[in-house]
Amino acid sequence: MCPRMELKTVKKKLDFCTHYSVRVYYEDTDAGGVVYYANYLKFVERARTEFLREIGIPHEDIKKKWSVEFVVRSSLIDYIKPAFLDDLLEVRTCCVEVRGASSTLKQEVLKEDTLIVDTTIKIACISMENSRAVKMPSDIRVAFDRIKIT
Protein backbone atom coordinates (compact mmCIF):
# COMPACT_ATOMS: atom_id res chain seq x y z
CA MET A 1 0.00 0.00 0.00
CA CYS A 2 1.05 3.59 -0.56
CA PRO A 3 2.30 5.42 2.51
CA ARG A 4 0.07 8.24 3.73
CA MET A 5 1.39 11.77 3.45
CA GLU A 6 -0.07 15.24 3.63
CA LEU A 7 0.12 16.98 0.24
CA LYS A 8 1.51 20.15 1.81
CA THR A 9 4.74 18.25 2.57
CA VAL A 10 5.31 17.19 -1.05
CA LYS A 11 8.26 19.49 -1.58
CA LYS A 12 10.03 18.11 1.50
CA LYS A 13 9.40 14.41 0.85
CA LEU A 14 10.76 12.33 -2.00
CA ASP A 15 8.17 9.54 -1.81
CA PHE A 16 4.46 10.17 -1.63
CA CYS A 17 1.03 9.25 -2.90
CA THR A 18 -1.82 11.55 -3.75
CA HIS A 19 -5.29 10.93 -2.35
CA TYR A 20 -8.56 11.46 -4.23
CA SER A 21 -11.99 10.89 -2.71
CA VAL A 22 -14.96 9.72 -4.74
CA ARG A 23 -18.54 9.09 -3.65
CA VAL A 24 -20.40 6.21 -5.35
CA TYR A 25 -23.54 7.51 -7.05
CA TYR A 26 -26.50 5.60 -8.44
CA GLU A 27 -25.11 6.04 -11.97
CA ASP A 28 -21.95 4.15 -10.91
CA THR A 29 -23.79 0.97 -9.92
CA ASP A 30 -25.24 -1.97 -11.80
CA ALA A 31 -28.72 -3.46 -11.34
CA GLY A 32 -27.52 -5.23 -8.19
CA GLY A 33 -26.38 -2.00 -6.52
CA VAL A 34 -22.68 -2.87 -6.88
CA VAL A 35 -20.20 -0.50 -8.56
CA TYR A 36 -20.00 -1.56 -12.21
CA TYR A 37 -16.48 -2.84 -12.85
CA ALA A 38 -15.61 -0.37 -15.64
CA ASN A 39 -16.41 2.60 -13.41
CA TYR A 40 -13.30 1.93 -11.34
CA LEU A 41 -11.33 2.91 -14.44
CA LYS A 42 -13.16 6.25 -14.40
CA PHE A 43 -12.34 6.71 -10.71
CA VAL A 44 -8.62 6.04 -11.21
CA GLU A 45 -8.55 8.27 -14.33
CA ARG A 46 -9.90 11.19 -12.28
CA ALA A 47 -7.35 10.46 -9.58
CA ARG A 48 -4.52 10.47 -12.17
CA THR A 49 -5.66 13.86 -13.41
CA GLU A 50 -5.53 15.22 -9.86
CA PHE A 51 -2.16 13.48 -9.33
CA LEU A 52 -0.67 15.38 -12.28
CA ARG A 53 -2.15 18.64 -11.00
CA GLU A 54 -0.77 18.05 -7.49
CA ILE A 55 2.76 17.33 -8.69
CA GLY A 56 2.70 20.57 -10.68
CA ILE A 57 2.06 19.34 -14.23
CA PRO A 58 -1.67 19.59 -15.01
CA HIS A 59 -2.90 18.23 -18.36
CA GLU A 60 -3.50 21.62 -19.95
CA ASP A 61 0.01 22.83 -19.07
CA ILE A 62 1.52 19.64 -20.50
CA LYS A 63 -0.33 20.20 -23.78
CA LYS A 64 0.34 23.93 -24.07
CA LYS A 65 3.95 24.03 -22.91
CA TRP A 66 5.37 20.83 -24.44
CA SER A 67 2.79 19.75 -27.08
CA VAL A 68 2.63 16.26 -25.57
CA GLU A 69 0.01 14.35 -23.67
CA PHE A 70 -0.26 11.14 -21.69
CA VAL A 71 -2.26 8.14 -22.78
CA VAL A 72 -2.82 4.84 -21.01
CA ARG A 73 -0.45 2.28 -22.52
CA SER A 74 -1.53 -0.62 -20.32
CA SER A 75 -3.62 -1.33 -17.27
CA LEU A 76 -3.73 -4.21 -14.85
CA ILE A 77 -6.67 -4.25 -12.47
CA ASP A 78 -7.53 -6.62 -9.65
CA TYR A 79 -11.06 -6.43 -8.24
CA ILE A 80 -10.79 -7.59 -4.62
CA LYS A 81 -14.03 -6.50 -2.93
CA PRO A 82 -17.15 -4.66 -4.12
CA ALA A 83 -18.23 -1.10 -3.41
CA PHE A 84 -21.86 -0.03 -3.17
CA LEU A 85 -24.13 2.97 -3.61
CA ASP A 86 -23.15 5.92 -1.38
CA ASP A 87 -19.80 4.43 -0.33
CA LEU A 88 -17.00 6.94 0.06
CA LEU A 89 -13.88 5.65 -1.66
CA GLU A 90 -10.30 6.87 -1.65
CA VAL A 91 -7.98 6.45 -4.62
CA ARG A 92 -4.28 6.55 -3.82
CA THR A 93 -1.90 7.21 -6.69
CA CYS A 94 1.85 6.58 -6.45
CA CYS A 95 4.54 6.74 -9.12
CA VAL A 96 6.58 3.53 -9.10
CA GLU A 97 8.64 3.74 -12.30
CA VAL A 98 9.84 6.43 -14.69
CA ARG A 99 11.28 5.56 -18.09
CA GLY A 100 12.14 7.58 -21.17
CA ALA A 101 8.64 7.90 -22.62
CA SER A 102 6.50 6.34 -19.89
CA SER A 103 5.69 6.21 -16.23
CA THR A 104 4.07 3.44 -14.20
CA LEU A 105 1.57 4.37 -11.53
CA LYS A 106 0.23 2.21 -8.73
CA GLN A 107 -3.37 3.12 -7.93
CA GLU A 108 -5.34 1.63 -5.07
CA VAL A 109 -9.04 2.10 -4.40
CA LEU A 110 -9.88 1.83 -0.70
CA LYS A 111 -13.10 1.75 1.26
CA GLU A 112 -12.64 2.58 4.95
CA ASP A 113 -8.89 1.87 4.63
CA THR A 114 -9.57 -1.57 3.10
CA LEU A 115 -8.09 -2.25 -0.34
CA ILE A 116 -10.91 -3.12 -2.75
CA VAL A 117 -9.32 -2.54 -6.17
CA ASP A 118 -5.62 -2.65 -7.04
CA THR A 119 -4.36 -1.23 -10.34
CA THR A 120 -1.09 -0.72 -12.13
CA ILE A 121 -1.32 1.77 -14.98
CA LYS A 122 1.44 2.60 -17.45
CA ILE A 123 1.04 5.99 -19.09
CA ALA A 124 2.97 6.91 -22.23
CA CYS A 125 4.03 10.34 -23.39
CA ILE A 126 2.97 11.02 -26.99
CA SER A 127 3.38 13.89 -29.40
CA MET A 128 0.18 15.84 -30.03
CA GLU A 129 1.39 16.36 -33.61
CA ASN A 130 1.55 12.70 -34.70
CA SER A 131 0.36 10.63 -31.69
CA ARG A 132 3.68 8.75 -31.52
CA ALA A 133 5.60 8.00 -28.36
CA VAL A 134 8.19 10.64 -27.48
CA LYS A 135 10.71 11.06 -24.72
CA MET A 136 9.19 12.78 -21.72
CA PRO A 137 10.20 16.46 -21.49
CA SER A 138 12.84 16.89 -18.79
CA ASP A 139 10.63 19.07 -16.53
CA ILE A 140 7.94 16.38 -16.52
CA ARG A 141 10.47 13.62 -15.92
CA VAL A 142 11.94 15.56 -12.98
CA ALA A 143 8.45 15.96 -11.48
CA PHE A 144 7.87 12.19 -11.71
CA ASP A 145 11.36 11.29 -10.46
CA ARG A 146 10.97 13.61 -7.48
CA ILE A 147 7.94 11.74 -6.15
CA LYS A 148 8.72 8.18 -7.30
CA ILE A 149 8.36 5.45 -4.71
CA THR A 150 11.70 3.68 -4.42
- 84, 30 Cβ separation under 8 angstroms: no
- 79, 44 Cβ separation under 8 angstroms: no
Please enumerate in sequence order all residues whose Cβ is within 8 A of that of 45, keeping only pairs 6 or more positions apart, or say none: none
Q: Rounded to an integer, what distance in angstroms lies between the CA atom of residue 87 and that of residue 16?
A: 25
Residues present in the chain in total: 150
For 21, half-sphere exposure in the C-beta direction (CA atoms, 13 angstrom radius) is 6
**Main-chain dihedrals φ then ψ at residue 82, nearest 5 degrees:** -80, 160
Residue type, 29: T
Residue from 28, 30, 139, 145 carrying the catalytic annotation = 30
**Main-chain dihedrals φ then ψ at residue 46, nearest 5 degrees:** -60, -40
Q: Quick check: is 30 catalytic?
A: yes
Give the active site residues. Answer: 30
